[in-house]
Amino acid sequence: MITLEPLRPDHAEALLAFERTNRAFFARSIPDRGDAYFVGFADRHAALLAEQAEGTCRFHLVRDAAGLLVGRVNLVDLADGSAEIGYRIAESATGRGIAKAAVAEACRLAATAYGLTALTAVTTVDNPASQAVLLRNGFALDHEFLLDGRPALAYRRGLAGLR
């Protein structure tokens, strides 16, 4: 069982530790955030909280049954009833269904709490685990494109019926 909790100011230290611990793991399948992300993390965290307060984004930490931070799920660019979903699960938590459950819960929240009607998602072609999570959560392949020079896939999911 997992829970999603909205990003708060007091999450900064734990979130930074999560990102540092998993940086190399994440960089194997998605573009690296770069050193500047970590150096300016406090300012970045404050900016995310400001975006969330404006209602243009919804950021969530994923906690496992023991309450440990094992991931994050973000809904960004909320506009016209849709948003893009992105997620990161700690290397130590992979293979346990956490990503699937976290995305399912984010879809439910998107429909019920945030009033969204559709979500989009992007993953690189060489990330079959992420593709499987999206497909198992009702996303359908929309198109292929290049993401930072890497082949990528865009997915879309309607949220009707989740209300």
The verdict on pTM exceeding 0.85 is yes
- Long-range contact pairs involving 18-27 (C-beta distance under 8 Å, separation at least 24): 18/69, 18/72, 18/90, 21/90, 22/88, 22/90, 22/91, 25/90, 25/91, 26/88
In the chain, where the domains are located: 3-158
Q: Where are the beta strands (DSSP E) in 64-149?
A: 69-79, 82-89, 118-124, 140-147
CATH superfamily membership of 3-158 = Gcn5-related N-acetyltransferase (GNAT) (3.40.630.30)
Could you list the pLDDT tens digit for every one of the 163 residues in the chain? Answer: 899 999 999 999 999 999 999 999 988 877 778 888 889 999 999 999 999 999 999 999 999 999 999 999 999 999 999 999 999 999 999 999 999 999 999 999 999 999 999 999 999 898 899 999 999 999 999 999 998 888 999 999 999 987 5
